[in-house]
Amino acid sequence: MYISRFSQIIVLGKARDRLESIKAAHSKHGMGGRGRTQRMEDYLEVIYELMEHKGYVSMSDISNYLNVSSASVTKMVQRLHESGYIEYEKYRGIRMKDKGLEIAKMIRERHSILIELLLLLGIEEEDAHRITEGIEHYFDNRSLKRLEQLIQIIKSDESIAKRISNL
């Protein structure tokens, strides 16, 4: 099949655009230039959820929930402490600072919105949580608001909700 030079340029341009979006998504700046990584967000999310559930957070709990070594937890907790997200003192535990709490609550909200959308689409809850953990870091606030608006439209119109549930 013959592909014109013009078509090749378009395909190459799209490939370059895709490569740039991949690069942006995998860099800490791809998350809106917030200076934190997906991994940092995962830790903040787990620390927040453990505090809500148990009232305290141990290094071993973090290690178990994120399936990482104790050494990795120690390094990240120190990094989060140095970045001002948490307060950490050896043998005294972890306490979230306002900056960390704000991010953790935002992550929880993002997670909830994505779960709600996936459940509306008829995806099983266990799968919805697994999928959400994989994609939640890539949504900026503007995109999330748009998804939230879409969810409200779907929920407000029974015929749309019914059509989607019958897919």
% of the chain residues with pLDDT over 90: 55
CB atoms inside a 10 Å sphere around CB 86: 26
* Eight-state DSSP code of residue 84: T
Q: Domain 38-101 maps to which CATH number in 1.10.10.10, 3.40.50.10190, 1.10.10.60, 1.10.580.10?
A: 1.10.10.10
Confidence of residue 111 (pLDDT cuts 50, 70, 90): very high
Report pLDDT digits (tens) over 6-43. Answer: 555 554 556 666 666 656 655 544 444 456 788 999 99
The structural domains of the chain, with segments of one domain joined by +, span 38-101, 105-165
**How far apart are the C-alpha atoms of 32 and 28, rounded to whole Å?**
8
- Fold classification of 105-165 is Diphtheria Toxin Repressor; domain 2 (1.10.60)
| Alpha-helical runs (H) found in the chain | 5-26, 38-54, 59-66, 70-82, 98-120, 125-135, 141-156, 158-165
Residues 6+ apart with CB under 8 A from 23: 30
Extract long-range pairs of 10-17: CB within 8 Å, 24+ residues apart. none
